Amino acid sequence: MSNLEQTLSIIKPDAVERNLENEIKEMFKNKGFNIVKEKKIQIEKAEAEKFYKVHETKPFYNDLCAYLSSGPIVVMVIEKENAVLANRDLMGATNPKDAADGTIRKKYGISIDKNSVHGSDSIDNAKIEIDFFFKD
Ligand code: CMP
């Protein structure tokens, strides 16, 4: 049965800064993702705080929000069958040290903070995160 889904992907400041945008997009396309919307933006810290609100009690919350707002990012709506899970597989583990070969974070991630990409962790959060960046 067809189960076409959309999820949100962010190419984070460390990857944009190293000009990895096109290489990372190629990795998505090679896995069969269609990039249906995209924009390059820089967000305010207050917006990052809203975006990462689920993490507000975590010790790394402040640094995380400062980091996401520290430079340009590319936000994309990507689509394929079972996109939420497929994107998490392609990104690899949150900490690049633990990421499997062939994943984006293994290839490009620098540290748990500078891990190059963000992806929605569930279908419900994908809808919320897509609306966050693309609701007109
Ligand atoms: P991301 O998928 O964007 O979601 C939250 C981010 O917090 C995560 O990627 C990491 O870059 C960052 N982070 C920093 N420290 C931690 C930690 N100890 N555990 C999980 N995520 C962390």
Q: Where are the domains of the chain?
A: 4-133
What is the per-residue pLDDT across 74-102, written as a single tens digit (0 to 9) for each? 999 999 999 999 999 999 999 999 999 99
Q: Which residues, judged by CB distance below 6 Å to any ligand atom, belong to the binding site of ligand 1?
A: 55, 60, 64, 94, 112-113, 115, 118
Residue identifier of the C-alpha nearest atom 13 of ligand 1: 113
**Are 64 and 52 a contacting pair, CB within 8 Å?**
yes
Alpha-carbon span 86 to 64, nearest angstrom: 24
Architecture, CATH, for domain 4-133 = 2-Layer Sandwich (3.30)
From 67, 70, 112, the mutation candidate for ligand 1 (largest count of ligand atoms within 8 A of CB) is 112
What is the per-residue pLDDT across 104-132, written as a single tens digit (0 to 9) for each? 999 999 999 999 999 999 999 999 999 99
**Tokens, residue 71:** 């430079």
Q: Which of 92, 118, 126, 130 is catalytic?
A: 118
Please give the single-letter amino acid code of residue 47. Answer: E
